Amino acid sequence: MPHVTYIGPDGSGTTVEAQLGASLMQMAVFNGVPGIVADCGGAASCATCHVYVDESWAPRVLGPGADEDAMLDCAASERRPTSRLSCQIAFSADLDGLIVHIPESQG
């Protein structure tokens, strides 16, 4: 079964079964992962689904598009080189085992 692991600010992990084509935000919300607020429902207009892609996975996850890049500047937590909006990362088979870290604050 493909999966994604979300690491909370306290270091605790939540691993969920992944669905092809679903966004990381959708899977987090559906599975009750704490720390992913998703106020805008996935429209990339609120930055409350901000995550840090684990360094080991960063080369496999494409960088943000222009709109996402601009929205990341509005994120409540520190922006890092691996910052992404989880609503903008669609799960694919090559992301099986992906690890993302949830920042301290989303809003």
Residue 53 is assigned to a structural domain of this protein: yes
Provide the pLDDT for residue 65: 94
SS3 content of the chain, % helix, strand, coil (to 5): 20, 20, 55
Provide the pLDDT for residue 10: 96
Residue 106 is assigned to a structural domain of this protein: no
pTM: 0.95
- Helix, strand, or coil (residue 11): coil
Q: Domain tally for the chain?
A: 1
What mean pLDDT is predicted for residues 7-32? 97
pLDDT at 107 over 80: no
Range of the domain at 36: 3-101
Residue 17 is assigned to a structural domain of this protein: yes
Residue 31 is assigned to a structural domain of this protein: yes
